[in-house]
Amino acid sequence: MSDLAKVRLMMLAPVVMAFPVGSVAVFGLGADRVATADLIAWIYSIGLFAAFSTSFWPLPGLREWTRAERIQSAVFIFVIVSYVTHLSWELGWLVLHEQIAESRDSAWAYTWWAYIDGGDARYANAPVELLTIEVLSVLNGLVGVTALTLWWRSPGGDRRAVLLMMATAVVHLYSTSYYYLTEILAGLPNVDTTSFTDSWIKFGLANAPWLTMPWLVLWWGWRLISGGNRR
C-alpha to C-alpha distance for 61 and 163, rounded to whole angstroms: 30
Q: Is the pLDDT of residue 185 over 50?
A: yes
**Count of domains for the chain:** 1
Q: Is the pLDDT of residue 154 over 90?
A: no
Chain centroid offset of residue 185 CA: 23
Question: 161: closest CA among 209, 221, 212, 214?
Answer: 221
Tens-place pLDDT, residues 64-118: 999 999 999 999 999 999 999 999 999 999 999 999 999 999 999 999 999 999 9
Chain centroid offset of residue 24 CA: 23
pTM beyond 0.75, yes or no: yes
Query: Domain containing 177: what range?
Result: 3-227
Tens-place pLDDT, residues 10-38: 999 999 999 999 999 999 999 999 999 99
Q: Is the pLDDT of residue 157 over 90?
A: no
Q: Is the pLDDT of residue 231 over 80?
A: no
* Mean pLDDT along residues 226-230: 62
C-alpha to C-alpha distance for 31 and 203, rounded to whole angstroms: 23
Q: Would you place residue 51 in the very low, low, confident or very high pLDDT band (cuts 50, 70, 90)?
A: very high
Amino acid at 178: Y
In what helix (H) or strand (E) does residue 79 lie, and over which residues does it extend? helix 67-85
Angle between helices 110-119 and 3-28 (to 10 degrees): 90
